[in-house]
A and B are shown apart, each in its own frame.
Chain A
Amino acid sequence: MAKTMLGVEVLTGGEATAHAMRQIRPDVVPVYPITPQTPIIQTFSRFVADGKVDTVLLQVESEHSAMSAAVGAALAGGRTMTATASQGLALMVEIIYIAAGLRAPIVMAVGNRALSAPINIHGDHSDGMLARDSGAVQIFAENAQEAYDLMVMAPRVAEHPAVLLPVLVGQDGFSVTHSAENVALLRDEEVQDFVGPYEIPYPLLGERPSSQGLFAMPDAYYEIKVRQVQALEAAEQVFADVARAYALRFGRHLGAIDAYRMEDAERAIVLIGSTAGTAKDVVDELRERGEKVGLVVLRLFRPFPHKALADALGGVQRVAVLDRAAAPGSFPPLFADIRAGYSGSAELRSYVYGLGGRDTAPQDIEKVFAELQRPAHGGIRYLGLTGEDQHGES
């Protein structure tokens, strides 16, 4: 593990995330180990053991209890963070919905991993999609640097008075959590100053007694739910503001979307997460050959930045949406979202890729761009599948 020091260090995404947590200095971190989240919590536990951070670390007996303890701690009045992946996120989902409903601004790192069965520890976005409609803000990082930056930004989004919702910061299992890269860390005091103090309206350990988690009948439930929906919608502007503040201060701008060489693009790929790195290389190569191709990477997945995405797609004619998760029985989640909210003229095509950590090579991305030159295939294409399985239909 790298030493704590200022400047650029070689860190895995998991380690970089643990550094962000150390620098944020949450009051409580309840957590339960699961691959590929383990580098986050092992690194953070080491920081606690070495006296580098004085957070109360709760080693609970399940992810369900991790999220439950997080709700208790966050609403009691303490800044609370946790981390999980895959089956752990699945076990947490019940309480993520409740955390959102109780407006508990918990920040959670997710090492995105496939869901069982078959059991598989490698990266895809199926776990994140389980929490899609929970009411939590969901952000995805492309690499270790983004995992770090987004983690530092997350508390300000979560705790904004107009939001007060959990924030999930995803990074692809292994390809980000376990891959070492150069990561530029901020100074501890800069991070402390950027996130500011933790303030919520009615802390249980505050001056005014309050009852939280009441039973709401049909005369009240609907209004409460719609306000929660509006809070998530408000998070889009808050995220943009926090990203701008972060860029002004630290020089790195992480907006809701990352539009890569889209200026005059005719064909584009839209995707989430670490495959963006490979796709950017392919775009560069094809651009050198004179092909007008581009890439849009979504960082903010919930709330969905429909307008920013439409703006980025601009005059594109054909778009391939690459989902690293399936939605059996219908179109996969990212494609479904884009199709639902996009009113531009581009033709949208759906691809699924990389389930259970299947590698996505530059050739796969090239193939997608090549297919975009040909007539529409209809249905869903399964990229990188072997043999005859690749022409799945929906």
Chain B
Amino acid sequence: MASLKELALREEERPRFTGGHSLCAGCGIPTIVRTVLDSIPGPVVAVNATGCLEVATTRFPFTAWGVPWLHVAFENAAAVASGVEAAYRSMVHRGKLSGERVTIVVFAGDGGTYDIGLQALSGALERGHRFLYVCYDNEAYMNTGIQRSGATPFAASTTTSPVGSVGRGKAETRKDLTAIVVAHHIPYAAQASTSHWQDLSVKVERAVAQEGPSFLNVLSTCPPGWGHDARDGARLARLAVESRYWPLFEVVDGHYRLTHYPAHPTALVEWLEMQKRFSHLRGIQSVDLESMIEREIMSQWQELERRTQESRSWFEERESESA
């Protein structure tokens, strides 16, 4: 496990993602990208789906990327990464590359992952390419102006699920993408949050050590999209975890493990209240909406606890073997 000091030193020695980009203050994305890239030991090729990250970091002729970086389109980052990985494998096999381990990392938002890129992701996971797919999940199409996505939570107001005389925000609950990914039986999948950077860093280390695909779903705060102050980004990310809205867990070879138990769970309302996208919940008829969110969150949490319980002995056996 790399300490913060070690991560900072790596960043100094081999800057992989530099400042000067135009991502917003309080945006979770740069923290995710830096933590991911700094936690990977060897060479990296980054593949990026269209979205905030791509637009804000590569305005021609400038780039924030110190590693080889490729962007092709919105819906196909996993397929593009498949091609890079296949070329790597073929070139190593034919002696055109040394065989030094190169890690291929995809960065894509929730729109490019939950929705338009889901087929390409599913195909790549099924084919078993060795790559890490990182979804920076800010829960809507932020780059195009905050439209609802399959990741947008129930009742959240977006520009395409606005609150009006009839509309009460998004009418549907979000898709459980991590569960969909796990259903592909890949070696490693996890959820993380920028607030718990060490947890994220460890998960990256575990993910890239696999011989097959790995997946990280990382909650990413968005000041304009969520309607919060830039300075509250880290706090909001933490509240999402502590309220159990965004549990931190990993799934290793199909076995679940919560990697952080909120000792004193905070009330969900504390998290909701800090974001304008939920401000309509403060209205008169909002109690039922709020309790619907609460119910959804709690049932997911209980399910995770149950699965963690089921997998406990598997992890214990594994750890005693490696000890």
Contacts and interface: CB of A to CB of B under 8 A. Distances in A.
A65 interface: yes
Consensus secondary structure, chain A interface: mixed
Nearest to B58: A214
A316 interface: no
Given A28-B83, A70-B83, A72-B83, A77 B69 contact: no
A213 B70 contact: yes
B166 to A, nearest CB: 36
A74 B124 CA distance: 17
Given A77-B87, A78-B90, A98-B72, A30 B63 contact: no
Nearest to A104: B72
A94 B73 contact: yes
A210 to B, nearest CB: 6
Interface string B44-65: 0101100000110011110101
Contact of B86 (A30, A62, A209, A212): A30
B311 interface: no
Nearest to A221: B60
B11 to A, nearest CB: 15
A215 B83 contact: no
A54 B71 contact: no
B84 A64 contact: no
B76 interface: yes
B61 A220 contact: yes
A80 B91 contact: no
A151 B205 CA distance: 44
A214 B60 contact: yes
B90 A64 contact: no
A68 B86 CA distance: 12
A61 B72 CA distance: 18
Nearest to B129: A58
A220 B87 contact: no
B67 interface: yes
A68 B72 contact: yes
Contacts of B58: 211, 213-215
Contacts, number: 166
Contacts of B65: 209, 211
Given A60-B127, A217-B59, A204 B68 contact: yes
Interface stretch (B115-123, B249-257, B288-296): B115-123
Given A78-B91, A95-B76, A68 B83 contact: yes
Interface string B6-36: 0000000000000000000000000000000
B88 interface: yes
A75 interface: yes
Q: Point out which of A60, A66, A98 has the most chain B C-beta atoms below 10 A from its C-beta.
A: A60
B79 A68 contact: yes
Interface in A68-86: 68-78, 80
B83 A211 contact: no
A220 B71 CA distance: 17
Contact of B76 (A55, A68, A214, A216): A68
B97 interface: yes
Interface residues of A, number: 43
Contacts of A76: 45, 83-84, 87-88, 91
B75 interface: yes
Q: Point out which of B76, B83, B88, B126 has the most chain A C-beta atoms below 10 A from its C-beta.
A: B83
Contacts of A95: 72-73, 76
Q: Point out which of A73, A74, A75, A216 has the most chain B C-beta atoms below 10 A from its C-beta.
A: A73
Contacts of B76: 64-65, 68, 95
A27 B90 contact: yes
B201 interface: no
A28 B47 CA distance: 18
A27 B87 CA distance: 6
Contact of A71 (B72, B93, B119): B72
Contacts of A75: 70, 84
Q: Point out which of B67, B82, B97 has the most chain A C-beta atoms below 10 A from its C-beta.
A: B82
Contacts of B47: 72
B81 interface: yes
A73 B87 contact: yes
Contacts of A66: 79
A336 interface: no
Contacts of A217: 59-60
A286 interface: no
A78 B88 CA distance: 8
Nearest to A216: B60
Given A55-B90, A61-B120, A213 B71 contact: yes
B142 interface: no
27 contacts: A27-B86, A28-B83, A28-B87, A28-B90, A30-B83, A56-B93, A60-B82, A60-B127, A61-B120, A61-B122, A64-B76, A64-B79, A65-B76, A65-B79, A70-B83, A72-B83, A75-B84, A77-B96, A78-B90, A204-B45, A205-B45, A205-B88, A209-B66, A211-B63, A211-B69, A213-B58, A214-B61
Interface of A: 27-28, 30, 54-56, 58-62, 64-66, 68-78, 80, 94-95, 98, 102, 204-205, 209-217, 220, 224
Interface of B: 45, 47-48, 54-55, 58-61, 63, 65-73, 75-76, 78-84, 86-91, 93-94, 96-97, 102, 119-120, 122-124, 126-127
